[in-house]
Structure 1
Amino acid sequence: MKKVLARIKGAQLRSKQRDTAMPPPQPEEPFLAIGDLHGRADLLLELDKMIEENFRGWPVVFLGDYVDRGEESRAVLEMLMPLSSKGSPSVTCLMGNHERMLLDFIENPLQSARRWIQNGGLQTLASFGLSIRLDRLKDEAAMRTTRNQLADAMGTEMIDWLHTRPLSWQSGNIWAVHAGAKPSEPMEVQSSRYLLWGHPRFEHENRQDGKWIVHGHTIVEVPYARKGRIAVDTGAYATGVLTAAAITPGEVSFLQTGAG
């Protein structure tokens, strides 16, 4: 098997977990968790080839943020929509905060336009052949027109698919979420706000229940697995480096595009 595990700054990112404060990750079966895509359909295709060559048959969970910032949001959604969590292997696509912002714009265009546009919505609109005037973000008629144009371009099937994205996925003692979680609360009762936007103590306070959290949302230069957190968002839309964590019992390694 050709080895394509990532090398960053000359160091291979593959190691047994030695964090004695946490039990080792113990998924029910090996799986891959893929970080934020943000409109990089090209990187998704590149990573898919690497997975086919080296991890064929492994379940995959995408950690959200498929749209905005990159130029090919529409293409990414069209590539992901046919995939199924009930297939073999299963593919699960979680919701990210950028999907939530897109849906907020569709549901409440005037109230939600500015936040979405300031966070990469322009690129998503462009991928559907649309544009928006920045000096009219407070114009209710203009925002409603843009919203209707976007809804027509996306179609009900795509909008419904986004609405039904789960917020979390579990395998053994590992939970996959988009952004993070409140360390002191059981994963089963986490607020959607924490799962989509993170929690201020997530990166600084360790969980006490032995659960590992694999997540995107927060860009890191080098992906890592330590103290119960597995971070895989390497800013693909800007860096060209899309990261997947390959998680097996007791071990986490990283697969990347544009690295090594």
Structure 2
Amino acid sequence: MFLGDYIDRGPDSLGVLTLVKELDQAQPGQIIALRGNHEQWFLDWIDADDTDPTWLLADAGFTTTRSFLPPEVIGDLVAELTDAIGRGGIDAGLAGEVNAAVKKEVTSRHRDLIAWLRRRPLYYETDTHVCVHAGVDEEAGPHWKTMTPDEVFTDKYPPSLGAHTVGKTIVAGHVGVGPLHAAEGRMRCWDPFVDDGHIYLDGSVESTGQLNVMRHDGVAGTTDFI
């Protein structure tokens, strides 16, 4: 089970997505890869007007974009835009033209990957747990599946804490656990955060190096972390 945010967390977003996709296809029905907010933002960019460069300009250093295209292609496409950013001014027309060209290259080169990404579910439910990237509408209680908007599954913030009436433990990523631990006096702690109704796993690996993994034995009903 992967909880999302495979992109925007390092220099090889494409490599991470490709690896997860290959695992999914090599082990049908054994791998569940959920969609996170960063994947959703990427898909929203794909679906937006070609001249809307919002996502592209938010990609600092075009790091994620560069992972999807050969250096000679992305270099030529963003060189003028990079120069404009360096001068402190971005022409809307230029940004739109570059965005359209970049999007065309990305979509034409990675059609299968994008199609696979669109099929990623927003949550996965077992008898005891709800696995999701960010969270659910806990005020909806047992009706969370029909009452939770898609953007809450991927973008919910701040995280809910404590007991709830969903009926199952919510397992999520999205929010770094450091501040949750700090609020309870545990400073610089990046271990999974567990309370009466939740397990939050995001150890902010991109800055801490700590990647938290939960292991649950459905037969024995035990949970540990590695």
Residues in 2 aligned to 1:177 and 1:137: alpha-carbon distance in whole angstroms: 39
Of Structure 1 and Structure 2, which has the larger fraction of its residues in helix? Answer: 2
Task: Give unmatched runs, 5+ long, in structure 1.
Answer: 1-60, 256-260
Cα-to-partner distance string for 1:76-111 (whole Å, 9 max, x where unaligned): 111111233894671010000000111111121443
Post-superposition offset of 1:177? 0.4
**Shift in alpha-carbon separation, 1:120–1:208, aligned structure 2, 3 A:** farther
Q: Is the contact between residue 162 and residue 198 of structure 2 (CA under 8 Å) also seen in structure 1? A: no
Q: Tell whether the 8 Å contact from 2:138 to 2:166 is kept in structure 1 after alignment.
A: no
Unaligned runs of 5+ in 2: 178-189
Determine which structure has greater relative contact order: mean sequence separation of CA pairs < 8 Å that are 6+ residues apart, divided by chain length: 1
Cross-structure match for 1:58: none
> Per-residue deviation at 1:211?
1.4
> 1:235 and 1:160, CA in 2 relative to 1: closer, same or farther beyond 3 A?
same
Tell me: CA distance 1:116–1:252, structure 2 relative to 1, closer, same or farther (3 Å): farther
In 1: Cα distance, 2:9 partner to 2:15 partner = 13
Correspondent of 1:191 among 149, 153, 161? 149
Partner of 1:152: 108
What is the root-mean-square deviation of aligned Cα atoms in Å? 2.4
Find the partner of 1:164 among 119, 129, 136: 119
Per-residue deviation, residues 52-87 of structure 1 (Å, max 9, x unmatched): xxxxxxxxx100010113011111111111233894
Distance change (3 Å), C-alpha of 1:239 and 1:121: same
Quote the Cα distance in structure 2 between the aligned partners of 1:169 and 1:241.
Answer: 24
Give the alignment partner of residue 209 of structure 1, picking from 166, 171, 178: 166
Q: Give the number of the structure whose alpha-carbon radius of gyration is greater.
A: 2
Distance 1:165-1:149 versus aligned 2 partners, 3 A rule: same
Whole-angstrom distance in 1 between the partners of 2:91 and 2:194: 41
Q: 1:194 to 1:205 in 2, by over 3 A?
A: farther
Determine the structure 2 residue equivalent to 1:229: 198
TM-aligned CA distance change 1:125 to 1:115, over 3 Å: closer
Change (3 A) 1:162 1:120: farther
SS at match of 2:153: helix
* Structure whose residues are more often strand by fraction: 1
After superposition, the Cα gap between the structure-2 partners of 1:120 and 1:225, relative to the gap in structure 1 and judged at 3 Å, is farther
How has the CA–CA distance of structure 1 residues 121 and 184 changed in structure 2, closer, same or farther, with 3 Å as cutoff?
farther
**CA 1:199–1:68: 2 relative to 1, 3 Å:** closer
Q: Normalising by structure 2, what TM-score? A: 0.75
1:64 aligns with 2:64: no
TM-score (norm 1): 0.66
Q: What SS does structure 2 have at the residue aligned with 1:91?
A: coil
